[in-house]
Amino acid sequence: MGTRIDWLSPLFCLVLTSCAFFQGYPRPEHASAEEASTIQFPLVMPEEGRQRIQGDTFRAVQLTMDDFLPWDTRPARDADEQQKCLLQRESYDVFTTPGPEGVMFVSVLPNPERCDLGGPPSEVSATYAIDVRGWRILAVRQ
Protein backbone atom coordinates (compact mmCIF):
# COMPACT_ATOMS: atom_id res chain seq x y z
CA MET A 1 0.00 0.00 0.00
CA GLY A 2 2.92 2.33 0.69
CA THR A 3 4.17 1.98 -2.87
CA ARG A 4 0.84 3.01 -4.35
CA ILE A 5 0.93 6.31 -2.44
CA ASP A 6 4.58 6.79 -3.43
CA TRP A 7 3.81 6.86 -7.16
CA LEU A 8 0.48 8.71 -6.78
CA SER A 9 2.04 11.75 -5.09
CA PRO A 10 4.28 12.71 -8.03
CA LEU A 11 1.42 12.02 -10.44
CA PHE A 12 -0.90 14.26 -8.42
CA CYS A 13 1.71 17.05 -8.39
CA LEU A 14 2.20 16.72 -12.15
CA VAL A 15 -1.54 17.01 -12.79
CA LEU A 16 -1.85 20.04 -10.51
CA THR A 17 1.04 21.91 -12.10
CA SER A 18 -0.14 21.16 -15.62
CA CYS A 19 -3.47 22.83 -14.82
CA ALA A 20 -1.64 26.17 -14.80
CA PHE A 21 -1.21 25.87 -18.59
CA PHE A 22 -4.97 25.77 -19.18
CA GLN A 23 -6.04 29.29 -18.36
CA GLY A 24 -9.21 30.96 -19.54
CA TYR A 25 -9.66 34.56 -20.51
CA PRO A 26 -8.39 36.96 -17.88
CA ARG A 27 -11.03 38.80 -15.92
CA PRO A 28 -10.94 42.59 -16.37
CA GLU A 29 -9.49 44.70 -13.59
CA HIS A 30 -12.00 46.68 -11.53
CA ALA A 31 -11.32 49.97 -9.80
CA SER A 32 -11.43 50.14 -6.03
CA ALA A 33 -14.80 50.77 -4.37
CA GLU A 34 -13.55 54.22 -3.41
CA GLU A 35 -12.72 55.15 -7.01
CA ALA A 36 -15.93 53.56 -8.32
CA SER A 37 -17.98 55.70 -5.92
CA THR A 38 -16.74 58.85 -7.71
CA ILE A 39 -18.40 57.87 -10.99
CA GLN A 40 -21.79 59.38 -11.73
CA PHE A 41 -23.78 57.62 -14.41
CA PRO A 42 -26.13 59.71 -16.58
CA LEU A 43 -29.82 59.01 -16.09
CA VAL A 44 -30.13 58.64 -19.86
CA MET A 45 -27.29 57.95 -22.26
CA PRO A 46 -26.73 61.14 -24.28
CA GLU A 47 -27.36 60.98 -28.03
CA GLU A 48 -24.17 62.84 -28.92
CA GLY A 49 -21.22 60.51 -29.29
CA ARG A 50 -23.28 57.39 -28.60
CA GLN A 51 -22.49 54.38 -30.77
CA ARG A 52 -24.59 51.29 -31.21
CA ILE A 53 -22.78 48.06 -31.93
CA GLN A 54 -25.16 45.26 -32.78
CA GLY A 55 -24.62 41.88 -31.16
CA ASP A 56 -23.59 40.11 -34.38
CA THR A 57 -21.06 42.83 -35.12
CA PHE A 58 -19.70 42.77 -31.59
CA ARG A 59 -19.26 39.01 -31.65
CA ALA A 60 -17.67 39.03 -35.11
CA VAL A 61 -15.16 41.68 -33.98
CA GLN A 62 -14.41 39.73 -30.81
CA LEU A 63 -13.85 36.52 -32.78
CA THR A 64 -11.58 38.39 -35.20
CA MET A 65 -9.49 39.99 -32.45
CA ASP A 66 -9.18 36.70 -30.56
CA ASP A 67 -7.51 35.27 -33.68
CA PHE A 68 -5.65 38.38 -34.90
CA LEU A 69 -4.21 39.35 -31.52
CA PRO A 70 -4.94 36.78 -28.81
CA TRP A 71 -5.26 38.21 -25.30
CA ASP A 72 -2.22 36.31 -24.03
CA THR A 73 0.20 37.56 -26.73
CA ARG A 74 3.34 38.99 -25.17
CA PRO A 75 6.18 40.96 -26.79
CA ALA A 76 9.57 39.38 -27.23
CA ARG A 77 12.21 40.40 -24.70
CA ASP A 78 14.04 42.46 -27.33
CA ALA A 79 10.86 44.07 -28.78
CA ASP A 80 11.10 47.75 -29.63
CA GLU A 81 8.42 50.32 -28.76
CA GLN A 82 6.64 49.90 -32.11
CA GLN A 83 6.43 46.14 -31.69
CA LYS A 84 5.10 46.55 -28.16
CA CYS A 85 2.55 49.09 -29.39
CA LEU A 86 1.32 46.72 -32.12
CA LEU A 87 0.62 44.06 -29.49
CA GLN A 88 -2.03 46.23 -27.84
CA ARG A 89 -5.60 45.87 -29.11
CA GLU A 90 -6.30 49.58 -28.61
CA SER A 91 -3.66 50.32 -31.26
CA TYR A 92 -6.03 49.10 -33.98
CA ASP A 93 -9.12 50.40 -35.69
CA VAL A 94 -11.75 47.86 -36.72
CA PHE A 95 -14.14 48.21 -39.66
CA THR A 96 -17.03 45.88 -40.43
CA THR A 97 -19.22 45.44 -43.46
CA PRO A 98 -21.89 42.89 -44.31
CA GLY A 99 -20.98 40.29 -46.90
CA PRO A 100 -23.10 37.68 -48.65
CA GLU A 101 -25.86 36.05 -46.61
CA GLY A 102 -24.50 34.97 -43.22
CA VAL A 103 -21.04 36.53 -43.69
CA MET A 104 -19.52 39.64 -42.17
CA PHE A 105 -16.18 41.12 -43.19
CA VAL A 106 -14.03 42.54 -40.39
CA SER A 107 -10.90 44.57 -41.19
CA VAL A 108 -8.26 45.28 -38.57
CA LEU A 109 -5.87 48.16 -39.30
CA PRO A 110 -3.27 49.76 -37.07
CA ASN A 111 -4.08 53.34 -36.12
CA PRO A 112 -1.05 55.37 -37.29
CA GLU A 113 -1.68 57.89 -34.51
CA ARG A 114 -1.09 55.15 -31.91
CA CYS A 115 1.98 53.40 -33.32
CA ASP A 116 4.68 54.90 -35.53
CA LEU A 117 4.66 52.35 -38.35
CA GLY A 118 7.32 53.85 -40.59
CA GLY A 119 5.84 51.93 -43.51
CA PRO A 120 2.64 50.56 -44.99
CA PRO A 121 0.18 49.12 -42.47
CA SER A 122 -0.48 46.09 -44.70
CA GLU A 123 2.08 44.01 -42.81
CA VAL A 124 0.08 44.29 -39.59
CA SER A 125 -3.47 44.35 -40.90
CA ALA A 126 -5.98 41.74 -41.94
CA THR A 127 -9.51 41.28 -43.20
CA TYR A 128 -11.56 38.36 -41.93
CA ALA A 129 -14.63 36.71 -43.39
CA ILE A 130 -16.74 35.64 -40.41
CA ASP A 131 -19.62 33.15 -40.53
CA VAL A 132 -22.18 34.88 -38.30
CA ARG A 133 -24.36 31.78 -38.10
CA GLY A 134 -21.79 29.22 -36.98
CA TRP A 135 -19.30 31.74 -35.56
CA ARG A 136 -16.35 30.49 -37.55
CA ILE A 137 -13.55 32.20 -39.40
CA LEU A 138 -14.15 31.40 -43.05
CA ALA A 139 -11.05 33.08 -44.49
CA VAL A 140 -8.36 35.63 -43.67
CA ARG A 141 -6.65 38.04 -46.09
CA GLN A 142 -3.47 39.68 -44.87
Identify the pLDDT of residue 115: 84
Number of neighbouring beta carbons within 10 Å of residue 105: 19
Instruction: Tell me, yes or no, whether 40 lies in a domain.
Output: no
Instruction: Tell me, yes or no, whether 10 lies in a domain.
Output: no
Alpha carbon distance 131, 104 (integer Å): 7
Domain count, the chain: 1
Range of the domain at 82: 53-142
Identify the pLDDT of residue 93: 94
The secondary structure element, H or E, covering residue 57 is helix 55-68
Q: Rounded to the nearest 5 degrees, what angle is found at the Cα of 27, between the Cα atoms of 127 and 80?
A: 55
Coil, strand or helix: which one is 106? strand
From first to last of the 142 residues of the chain, give the pLDDT tens digit.
555 556 555 655 555 555 555 566 677 788 999 999 999 989 998 999 888 999 999 999 999 999 999 988 899 999 888 889 999 999 999 999 999 999 999 999 998 888 876 665 556 899 999 999 999 999 999 9
CA atoms within 13 A on the CB side of 132: 19
Instruction: Tell me, yes or no, whether 31 lies in a domain.
Output: no
Identify the pLDDT of residue 124: 82
Instruction: Tell me, yes or no, whether 106 lies in a domain.
Output: yes
Instruction: Tell me, yes or no, whether 70 lies in a domain.
Output: yes
Instruction: Tell me, yes or no, whether 58 lies in a domain.
Output: yes
Is residue 86 within 8 A of residue 115, CB to CB? The reply is yes
Identify the pLDDT of residue 92: 94
